[in-house]
Structure 1
Amino acid sequence: MSIDAPSVPALSGTTTAADQPAVLPYGVLVPSQVHFDDLDALNMLHNARYPLLVERAWSAYWEALGWSYEGDWNAAEDACNAVKELRISYERPVVRSGEYAVHLWLDRLGTTGLTYGFRYCSADGAMTYARGTRVLVRLDPGTLRPAPWSERFRAEALPLLRPAG
């Protein structure tokens, strides 16, 4: 898998008001794979799989930039964080396995927390199946209390910020 971070991919295809514009002005598009065992009894992507696929896309994105998720809280640095809130809206069912994508961006980058946005979409980004936001809080590994993001993380996260307006 290749992720050109933080480049902005050019997208093509017909869109509706519920979809993103034909050219993605912010964020990154990360490839995602739906397997047959991700589908439910009605042959639709199970609702609980969407957050998992989004998490895998974020992990792939940050790992491509050299961040590690080894399970060692002290070594995890900015990966030592917790989910405060998750919101997701399902717009169209995914009804087959295959290649898809996750459009990722940041809506807010605070001192100790951030809000990221996502869309689960077609591989070219033209069709949206689900969209949502997730709030993360950076934690101090010793106290598990909120801690500031590192300068390295902030520098690598800033290009993902969605423009205001």
Structure 2
Amino acid sequence: MTALPRIVVEQGHVEPGYAHYDDLDLMGFVHNCRYPVMVERALTGFWSRNGFTYAEGKYSQPDIFLAVAEFSIRYRAPIRGTVPYAVHFWISKLAESSVVYDFRVLSEDGGTVHAEGHRVHIRIDTETFRPTPWTPAFHEVAEKLL
């Protein structure tokens, strides 16, 4: 796998990915159910590199204990075959205990939008399982995506 060319964006972050054979449907397109996984992996990669990890049953930061409250996606053009792609995402709304990520799944060069949508996270308290405010550490990293 080669590195993606740098896709320049005005806001947010672009995370590279690669479509694998097991992502494909019988027509050789990336199956629609794989796009949410692509977005999940892009967000996980970004946040992990910024110190928000889950390993050996432990959360490095309390903010990664969260629930996905909403996920919406619009498919625009299929990804065909085992090829590189990119996920461009940014925060469109940050509230006390929730965050809305907007995203686009792009071709390797950024010229084609394969899918776009949004995903809403709610931070959950590990003991009460109720919504709880984001920490200052989360806000500091989230600034990169606003």
| Same structural fold, with TM-score higher than 0.5 when normalized by the shorter chain | yes
Equivalent residue number for residue 149 of structure 1: 134
1:43 to 11, 23, 28: 28
2:98 to 85, 90, 113: 113
Check the 8 A contact 1:70/1:76 in 2, yes or no.
no
Which structure: greater strand fraction?
2
Check the 8 A contact 1:89/1:132 in 2, yes or no.
yes
Check the 8 A contact 2:52/2:59 in 1, yes or no.
no
**Structure 2 counterpart of 1:102, one-letter code:** V
**Structure 2 counterpart of 1:111, one-letter code:** E
CA distance in 1, matches of 2:98, 2:120: 7
In the TM superposition, residue 126 of structure 1 has moved relative to its aligned partner by: 2.2
Equivalent residue number for residue 77 of structure 1: 62
**CA displacement, residues 65-124 of structure 1 (integer Å, 9 cap, x when unaligned):** 111123747655100000100000000011111111100110101100010011111123
Structure 1 residue 54 corresponds to structure 2 residue 39: yes
**Structure 2 counterpart of 1:34, one-letter code:** A
CA distance in 1, matches of 2:38, 2:22: 13
Check the 8 A contact 1:73/1:80 in 2, yes or no.
no
Equivalent residue number for residue 128 of structure 1: 113
Check the 8 A contact 2:66/2:121 in 1, yes or no.
yes
Equivalent residue number for residue 139 of structure 1: 124
Q: Percent identity?
A: 39
How many positions carry a matched residue from both structures? 143
Equivalent residue number for residue 32 of structure 1: 17
Normalised to the residue count of structure 2, the TM-score between the two structures is: 0.91
**CA displacement, residues 3-49 of structure 1 (integer Å, 9 cap, x when unaligned):** xxxxxx963xxxxxxxxxxx521011100110011100111110000
Check the 8 A contact 1:105/1:118 in 2, yes or no.
yes
Check the 8 A contact 1:29/1:125 in 2, yes or no.
no
Q: What's the Cα RMSD here? A: 1.9
Equivalent residue number for residue 16 of structure 1: none
The worse-fitting range, judged by mean Cα deviation, of 66-75 and 111-120 is: 66-75
